[in-house]
Amino acid sequence: MVKAANLGFPRIGTRRELKKALEAYWKGEADAAALEATGATLRAESWAAQRDAGIKRIPSNDFSFYDQVLDTTAMLGAIPGRFAGLGGFDAYFAMARGTDTAPAMEMTKWFDTNYHYIVPELTADMTFHLANDLPVQRFNEAKAQGIHTRPVLVGPVSWLALGKVKTDGLDPLSLLPDVLAVYAELLGKLAEAGSDWVQIDEPILARDLSEAEARAVRTAYSTLAGKAPEILLATYFGGLGDNLDLATGLPVDGLHVDLVRAPDQLDDVLSQFGDRLLSLGLIDGRNIWRADLTRALGLARQAVDAFGPDRVEVAPSCSLLHVPVDATLETHLDDELRSWLAFARQKLDEVVALARAARKGREAARAAFDAADAAVASRAASARIHDPTVKARADSVSDADMRRSSPHPVRAVEQSARLDLPALPTTTIGSFPQTAEIRNARAANRKGEMSDADYRAFLEERTIECIRRQEALGLDVLVHGEFERNDMVEYFGEQLSGFAFTKNGWVQSYGSRCVKPPMVYGDVSRPSPMTVDWARFAAAQTDRPMKGMLTGPVTILQWSFVRDDQPRAETAKQIALAIRNEVADLEAAGLPIIQIDEAALREGLPLRRSDWPAYLDWAVAAFRLASSPVSDATQIHTHMCYSEFNDILPAIAAMDADVISIETSRSDMELLDAFCDFDYPNQIGPGVWDIHSPRVADETEMVRLLKAAAEWIPADRIWVNPDCGLKTRGWPEVERSLTHLVRAAAQMRQSPNAMASTSS
């Protein structure tokens, strides 16, 4: 019987109950028992919802109070020494969030999602033991509710591969045997508790593996497989590619493959993975659109024909953690738009309908298939989605549209004549503190408690004050402060056509933090200017150069749910054209500098290196398209909030921004090593103040960083700025740090050695 299966369900709750419970606990307003109780309720509800939907393979241990990788770390007893002496929730949350004396463990993005996991710390002297048996407890908890679950574990090789080595020279995979011993013990306990199957996630199988990693995968599963419980090895976030032989050759009892991102791998999987259970990831766990069930059924049938109905399961492509919970809550959306959506709960229904149709034919799930076909047809034809003007404009883009009129050195001369800036000009990245006062005013305005006029007047005051403070600090290039913006993507999405917003579409980003990504459902255009008013207002308040601030096309794309009926590249191009209009309007309004932030360009890199060039091609093209309508004398800035882009430096240079500001202070200018191999041709502002820390930036330290930068970059191409925007900081530390920053720049200008390195 083709079974309907699920790999993981959102844990935050329909109304973000987990967030509220966590934050109450952290504030000391609720005790551990209350937090445990909320967790238990959320688990019970999600198990019941899955059972009631008709899911036959229901996951357990997909719940987490913070992160499943951190849970694995805790379970393995791999707790860093600085947290010794703490127990229970105290130790657990200390690892995630830090304490006064012990800094938090690092956090980073989970593959190409916007979910962040807590990075395991690997040291040579670490030992492992089964420190808790939560997976067994959760299995029993569900069993007590009459629900037989399939426990989910983060795989041992992925856990190690995602860890960070803290002992020089340590090979992380050398820890594998000890880690496997703990997994084996756990699996034994699960079997004793009555678990017949477990799901072990090895998402690293969807990315490039080293020989050693591949060997570790073989070792892991020849050690763990062949005993009870049976193992379903789950792969997702892409195709197996050159890991296909490896994955299908493992002695596991079942394999889950992602057929949303990689439908083409089905033939090979079917021919190579014989005689065992195959789980088909047919419903998109990464996006919010209703599935094309007819197409999915074609793939399911192919598998059933080859394997027989008893060895096939139908499932989402990956855990549903990455989509919001319930589209039916979005009652403010019109019926048509809502009919195109499927969040986690609706995806369960899709899985069940698909499994039923795979067993008994389409007629057995006719209503679901008819509705899915209708949604596909209406999306294909809807005038709200398809705007011929946008398509025609995108089709007519020429190479010339993606080029500035002159190369950077020529532009630089014109710009410096126009701007008249000192050497090593100082500036900031855009936002200034979003104080409680500002957030409250925005909330009051949204609720209708503050009139638009009052809100506008309030924002004008804050903006003027921010400009005065920048003048007093002596900054050279000013910004307006971004007080009118809630979020750097949402602000633009709300003003572009083709975007829609949910009210409850929360997705976990990390811990209690959730985001509500915009949905790009149709062709994108800009009905009217989005930032010009504020930019013009700000520029009029001062004699100094003002930067107009925009979010770039790749970042808008990356932080939204995007349509799946055309390539991402095409959507990026449409957004780029909309931003291009804004750039042109800002220039016409007299802004001498326009910054286009591409905070998310790097995180959009595909998991497989072989897919990088194609991505970088269209991503860079989108930026160039957005930024190129201006004259030579208008200076284009961009900003990126990370430093690990040594390997994509040529692409960054190809964006051809006149000035780029980047994060470097946390990595102590490590990035700049790349500049000895690659001569970055334009101007660059290596961040000299780590704004992620509440520490006041130190002047001597900033001078040291600037001198390090001047080793590689001619001083007449260096800017002085913080690492990122200042919206999360408070005014007192901002003023002090910026005072130091301005003084550091002044010191540098005085330093003949540093200034000797110019490009001429």
> From CA 607, how far away is CA 287, in angstroms rounded?
17
Q: Residue 153: beta bridge partners?
A: 200
> From CA 590, how far away is CA 150, in angstroms rounded?
62
Q: Are 3 and 318 in contact (CB under 8 A)?
A: no
SS3 state at 708: helix
Cβ-based nearer residue to ligand GLN, 198 or 556: 556
Q: Which residues contact 610 (CB under 8 A, 6 or more apart)?
A: none
692 is catalytic: yes
For ligand GLN, which stretch binds (CB under 6 A), given 101-109, 427-435, 689-697, 744-752? 427-435
725 binds ligand GLN (CB under 6 A): yes
Q: Residue 142: beta bridge partners?
A: none
Question: How far apart are CB 641 and Zn ion at their closest, in Å?
Answer: 3
549 binds ligand GLN (CB under 6 A): yes
Question: How far apart are CB 496 and ligand GLN at their closest, in Å?
Answer: 18
Q: Residue 58: beta bridge partners?
A: 149
429 binds ligand GLN (CB under 6 A): yes
49, 599, 626, 706: residue in contact with ligand GLN (rule CB under 6 A): 599
Cβ-based nearer residue to Zn ion, 300 or 641: 641
> From CA 521, how far away is CA 386, in angstroms rounded?
10
> From CA 277, how far away is CA 352, in angstroms rounded?
18
For ligand GLN, which stretch binds (CB under 6 A), given 217-225, 279-287, 496-504, 719-727? 719-727
641, 702, 703, 745: residue in contact with Zn ion (rule CB under 5 A): 641
Q: Tell me, residue by residue from 669 to 708, as one string, x for binding to ligand GLN by CB under 6 A and - for no binding.
A: ----------------------------------------
729 binds ligand GLN (CB under 6 A): no
726 binds Zn ion (CB under 5 A): no
Strand ranges across the sheet with 659-662? 547-551, 593-597, 635-640, 659-662, 683-686
259 binds ligand GLN (CB under 6 A): no
430, 498, 604, 686: residue in contact with ligand GLN (rule CB under 6 A): 430
Cβ-based nearer residue to ligand GLN, 258 or 663: 663
Beta strands 312-316 and 3-4 are parallel
| Nearest one of 352, 380, 379 to 367, comparing CA atoms | 352
Q: What is the DSSP letter of 124?
A: T
Output the CA–CA distances (angstroms, integers) from residue 741 to 422, 464, 719, in the order listed. 15, 22, 11
SS3 state at 432: coil
For Zn ion, which stretch binds (CB under 5 A), given 168-176, 433-441, 464-472, 638-646? 638-646
Q: How far is CA 224 from the centre of its chain?
A: 32
| Nearest one of 234, 157, 144, 151 to 187, comparing CA atoms | 151
The residue sitting closest to ligand GLN, measured at its beta carbon, is: 725
| Nearest one of 52, 54, 61 to 9, comparing CA atoms | 61
What DSSP string runs through 602-627?
A: GGGS-SSGGGHHHHHHHHHHHHHHHH
724 binds Zn ion (CB under 5 A): yes
593 binds ligand GLN (CB under 6 A): no
620 binds, among ligand GLN, Zn ion, none (CB under 5 to 8 A by kind): none
Tokens 């003003």 -> residue: 495
641 binds ligand GLN (CB under 6 A): yes
Q: Which residues contact 322 (CB under 8 A, 6 or more apart)?
A: 113, 114, 115, 285, 286, 507
Q: What is the DSSP letter of 758?
A: -
Q: Tell me, residue by residue from 292 to 311, as one string, x for binding to ligand GLN by CB under 6 A and - for no binding.
A: --------------------
Within 147-186, which residues bind ligand GLN (CB under 6 A)?
none
240 binds Zn ion (CB under 5 A): no
Residue 661 belongs to what H/E stretch? strand 659-662
431 binds ligand GLN (CB under 6 A): yes
> From CA 163, how far away is CA 489, in angstroms rounded?
31
Cβ-based nearer residue to ligand GLN, 415 or 638: 638
Question: How far apart are CB 744 and ligand GLN at their closest, in Å?
Answer: 20
718 binds, among ligand GLN, Zn ion, none (CB under 5 to 8 A by kind): none
Cβ-based nearer residue to Zn ion, 357 or 488: 488
Question: How far apart are CB 551 and ligand GLN at their closest, in Å?
Answer: 8
Question: How far apart are CB 428 and ligand GLN at their closest, in Å?
Answer: 7
42, 488, 579, 625: residue in contact with ligand GLN (rule CB under 6 A): 488
Cβ-based nearer residue to Zn ion, 263 or 685: 685
Cis peptide before 229 (omega within 30 of 0): yes
The vertex-404 CA angle with 400 and 406, nearest 5°, equals 110
Q: Using CB under 5 A as the criterion, which residues of the chain lie in contact with Zn ion when the complex forms?
A: 641, 724
Query: So which residues are the catalytic ones?
Result: 692
Q: Using CB under 6 A as the criterion, which residues of the chain lie in contact with ligand GLN when the complex forms?
A: 429-431, 482, 488, 549, 597, 599, 639, 641, 724-725, 727
